Amino acid sequence: MMHVSEMFSARVPRYTSYPTAPHFHSGIDGATYHSWLSALEPQTPLSLYVHIPFCDTLCWFCGCHTTVVNHYEPVKSYCELLRKEIGLVATALGTRRRVQHLHWGGGSPTLLKEDETNRLVGALRENFDFTADAEFAIEIDPRGFGRANAKVLAAAGVTRASIGLQDCDPEVQRAINRIQSDEETSQVIAMLRAEGIPSINLDLVYGLPRQTLASWEKTLTFALRLEPDRLAVFGYAHVPSFKKHQALIPEALLPDVEMRLRLAELARDVLSRHGYVPIGLDHFARPHDKLAMSARDGSLERNFQGYTTDSAPALIGLGASSIGSLPQGYVQNVSVVPVYRKMLEAGVLPVRAGIRLSLEDRIRRQVIERLMCDLKVDLDGVTAKYSTTRDLLSDSLAALAGYAADGIVSLDGGKVTIAPEWRAATRLVCAAFDTYLVQGTAAHSVSV
């Protein structure tokens, strides 16, 4: 068997899409996107993602599309652009559409003041019909977040607050340039609950500089005290060649692959012992949370925000760098705000790139999604849906032979099952089905 740390050092994508974003190309532009939008069946329910690419300060570990702003003016004028984009998308769609899921991410969407939050929600409600049970999730940086902010979000109809906790240890916090007291985090959660926001999600990150098993256990214990409905426990993706500021974190301070595996395992042990159900690779939820229920009944899905219960066939991305997923394929907006502005001012959908899905892409995408969600897949079931057979995937099955010999996966005809104790190897198993990976030069993080 290959040495475990060597195996997990392989750099593979997180598979929030397939094909993954580095394979999007400029052949897909605003005009293609316009035609894709206008071809959507009027009854197709939509999911919307709104990206706010701004933060007050920069956390050195951050892998998100964001920039630090010292004044509010750029944020305000960006929100005007977002409203323009919402109008352009609605025009391309032609008729009013039903929305069942809305997610604001970033950056830090909670940087918006009351006026911008309300205007943005107003523009969305003006252009779309939100279903009575529509979810509205928002990512929250608790630092500097107060009661007034919680009131604005509750009045806007937020149903899930996703709070960045990351790590509680003061030394780790210094090493990532993110000082956040336990008291502040607890108070923000209490405020959100007092305002009636029903669901609380916490984001934690393992693999951060100076993390030890003891410090990480303290973070997990604190997270449990906050009684979240869900937790996301991400492995730190360190790719300084791509995110230059990550070079501010000395590599010598980072836990090695073996330690990362132990940190991930500790999170799984502690959270499972306290009644949270492990979901996919890096999420946990209370047994009666919708996420856990959909994991049980096999309807869990994966999109750019991670694991989701959202089943809308079309996800529309709004804002710089946002990615949309339509039945025809993926589209990504430009990331640079001045370019985003210029395109919108010219009345053009601000698309940078995308990819049209081939039949084989669709099949491989479904195989990878089921593996990421269920840790197992029936290749015959998937290929039959597309009137083909698993012969199409024989190269990938052959690539799994080594993992099968090591007991990481079991292969039974067309059924591929990842052994529960090898859950951490899920991305590696998915990579066997990724035909783009070999051609790629993209920077990925280690697989655990």
Binding of ligand SAM at residue 203 (CB under 6 A)? yes
Phi first, then psi: give them for residue 94, nearest 5 degrees: 85, -50
Binding of ligand SAM at residue 64 (CB under 6 A)? yes
Q: CB nearer to ligand SAM: give 257 or 400.
A: 257
**Per-residue string for binding with ligand SAM, 87-126, x by CB under 6 A?**
------------------xxxx------------------
Q: CB nearer to ligand SAM: give 320 or 326.
A: 320
**Per-residue string for binding with ligand SF4, 123-142, x by CB under 6 A?**
------------------x-
Peptide bond into 107 cis (omega under 30): yes
Nearest distance in Å: CB 280, ligand SF4: 21
Binding of ligand SAM at residue 331 (CB under 6 A)? no
Q: CB nearer to ligand SF4: give 203 or 369.
A: 203
Q: CB nearer to ligand SF4: give 116 or 139.
A: 139
Binding of ligand SF4 at residue 64 (CB under 6 A)? yes
Nearest distance in Å: CB 104, ligand SF4: 12
Q: Two tokens at 41?
A: 């069946």
CA distance readout (Å), 413 to 366, 377, 420, 432: 18, 11, 19, 17
Look at residue 13 and give the partner it binds from ligand SF4, ligand SAM, none, a contact being a CB closer than 5 to 8 Å depending on partner kind.
Answer: none
Pairing of strands 415-418, 376-378: antiparallel
Binding of ligand SF4 at residue 107 (CB under 6 A)? yes
Q: CB nearer to ligand SF4: give 84 or 245.
A: 245
Query: Do the Cβ atoms of 203 and 105 come closer than 8 Å?
Result: no
Of 322, 318, 311, 331, whose CA–CA distance to 121 is shortest? 318
Binding of ligand SAM at residue 166 (CB under 6 A)? yes
Selected binder of ligand SF4 within 28, 59, 197, 223 (CB under 6 A) = 59
**Per-residue string for binding with ligand SAM, 6-25, x by CB under 6 A?**
--------------------
Selected binder of ligand SF4 within 50, 55, 202, 312 (CB under 6 A) = 55
Q: How many CB atoms are closer than 10 A to CB 32?
A: 17
Instruction: Give residue for tokens 């977002």.
Output: 82
Between the CA atoms of 339, 341, 347 and 350, what dihedral angle is there, to the nearest 10 degrees?
50
Query: Do the Cβ atoms of 321 and 51 come closer than 8 Å?
Result: yes
Q: Is the dihedral of CA 5, 10, 16, 17 positive or negative?
A: negative
Selected binder of ligand SF4 within 17, 66, 325, 328 (CB under 6 A) = 66
Binding of ligand SF4 at residue 21 (CB under 6 A)? no
Look at residue 255 and give the partner it binds from ligand SF4, ligand SAM, none, a contact being a CB closer than 5 to 8 Å depending on partner kind.
Answer: none
Binding of ligand SF4 at residue 203 (CB under 6 A)? no
Selected binder of ligand SF4 within 13, 142, 164, 306 (CB under 6 A) = 164
Instruction: Give residue for tokens 């090898």.
Output: 422
**Residues in a beta bridge with 105:** 51
Look at residue 58 and give the partner it binds from ligand SAM, ligand SF4, none, a contact being a CB closer than 5 to 8 Å depending on partner kind.
Answer: ligand SF4
Q: CB nearer to ligand SF4: give 19 or 107.
A: 107
Q: Applying CB under 6 A, which residues contact ligand SF4? A: 55, 58-59, 62, 64, 66, 106-108, 141, 164
Site for ligand SAM, rule CB under 6 A: 61-64, 105-108, 139, 141, 164, 166, 203, 205, 234, 236-237
